[in-house]
Amino acid sequence: MERKRLSPNQDVDDDSRCSELIEENGRSASFDESNLSSLEESSYCSDFDSLFDEEDSGSPSCQPSIGIADVDQSMRPARRLAPPIPGMHFNSTVLIPVDIAEQLWRDCMRTYFRDGDVNQVMLFERARSPESTRSSLVSAGKPEESLSATSRLPDFLLDLLDTLKTLLKDVLPVDVHTLLFPLDSKSHQARQAILNHYMPGEGIAPHVDLLNRYGDGIVGVSLHDGTVMDFSKMSNSDAQSILHNGSGRDLRDRARESYNVYLPERSVFVLTGEARYKWTHGIARRSEDLVESLDGELVRLLPRGERLSITFRWLLPGADIVGD
């Protein structure tokens, strides 16, 4: 795996993306180039922060409560409840167990971010044949560790997928759960896992994940701290612009339906259908967020801390093929 750090606003020539680093939404990236050729992320501009984020890691008693009337109206308080966006599935009380989240944080930081020269890592797997699934390996008497070598995802990310499958079983509609976690015998798509390491105040531009690269069904996990994610609905003309041009740099200042959502530490959100294809998501660059209480009566000013987001996406057919 090649690693390099790019400056936040440095552009990368499109023709070089398959052979070295990808700057995805203004982040420095490293990836396993033996698995994929050309990958990129559709981005609206590049001033904002990453995909998943965490809950308030500080003691609630240490955070000041503010009446709604006292809030600076230039910063809209973020909600803790799921917004009315079709296809977005989020419950701030459904959290990955503490021990699993803490171990996952340690594994990711030790494996990918120990030297501080990279803040984004992309991992890819090829579509698995029926013979390479977990159940097939076990029934054939092969060690389960063989699965990570076959899938090219590390064991701790495969374990996270198992945790998410169980955690979300009674939370998601059956069809959405099946889309994200198909039976081994029907799991022939390849996944991408992208890990973003954020320092306080960093952000990612509002964007829609590439329509010609990734399929329906995106899962995001937040580790170590929380942040506010901004969702904005695109008009039909906006969607057509992204479909044909792969970019939406002129959409940033348009007035659109939007929601700000607080994503706690250890929380999970899912984007499918309209939420995946017709709404942008991004995180503003700032050092603290205003967050509503569950009843909406008070807001707290929560400082942002160091955090890690892990996102799983399905690769469309052919996206995992290297070369011609």
The pLDDT of residue 143 is 55
The pLDDT of residue 88 is 98
Question: Are the beta carbons of 211 and 313 closer than 8 angstroms?
Answer: no
The pLDDT of residue 318 is 74
The pLDDT of residue 41 is 39
Question: Which span out of 117-131, 240-254, 258-272, 281-295 was modeled with the highest average pLDDT?
Answer: 258-272
Confidence of residue 42 (pLDDT cuts 50, 70, 90): very low
Asked whether the predicted pLDDT for residue 239 surpasses 50, the reply is yes
Average pLDDT, the chain: 75
Question: Are the beta carbons of 91 and 324 closer than 8 angstroms?
Answer: no
Stretch 266-270: mean pLDDT: 98
Higher pLDDT, 10 or 104: 104
The pLDDT of residue 240 is 60
CA distance 266 to 309: 10
DSSP string, 152-196: -S-HHHHHHHHHHHHHTTTTS-HHHHHHHS--GGG--SEEEEEEE
CA distance 314 to 317: 9
Written as six digits, the tokens of 281 are: 């998501």
Asked whether the predicted pLDDT for residue 258 surpasses 50, the reply is yes
Stretch 241-253: mean pLDDT: 53
Higher pLDDT, 258 or 241: 258
Written as six digits, the tokens of 218 are: 């995106």
CA distance 10 to 20: 14
Question: Are the beta carbons of 229 and 205 closer than 8 angstroms?
Answer: no
71-103 pLDDT, tens digit per residue, is 454 578 999 999 999 999 999 999 999 999 999
The pLDDT of residue 291 is 96
Question: Are the beta carbons of 219 and 88 closer than 8 angstroms?
Answer: no
Asked whether the predicted pLDDT for residue 32 surpasses 90, the reply is no
305-317 pLDDT, tens digit per residue, is 999 999 999 999 8
Q: What DSSP character marks residue 129?
A: P
Higher pLDDT, 25 or 217: 217
Confidence of residue 296 (pLDDT cuts 50, 70, 90): confident
Domain spans of the chain, in order of start: 15-315
H/E element, 260: strand 258-263
The pLDDT of residue 241 is 63
Stretch 9-35: mean pLDDT: 37
Asked whether the predicted pLDDT for residue 279 surpasses 90, the reply is yes
Least trusted range by pLDDT, from 10-19, 87-96, 182-191, 285-294: 10-19
The pLDDT of residue 10 is 33
The pLDDT of residue 74 is 59
Burial profile 47-84: b = 16 or more Cβ within 10 angstroms, e = fewer: bbbbbbbbbbbeeeeeeeeeeeeebeeebbbbbbeeee
Q: What predicted TM-score, i.e. pTM, was given to this entire model?
A: 0.73
The pLDDT of residue 115 is 85
The pLDDT of residue 229 is 98
Tell me, which fold does domain 15-315 have in CATH? Jelly Rolls (2.60.120)
Stretch 189-204: mean pLDDT: 95
Across-strand partners of 218?
A: 271, 313
Stretch 142-154: mean pLDDT: 60
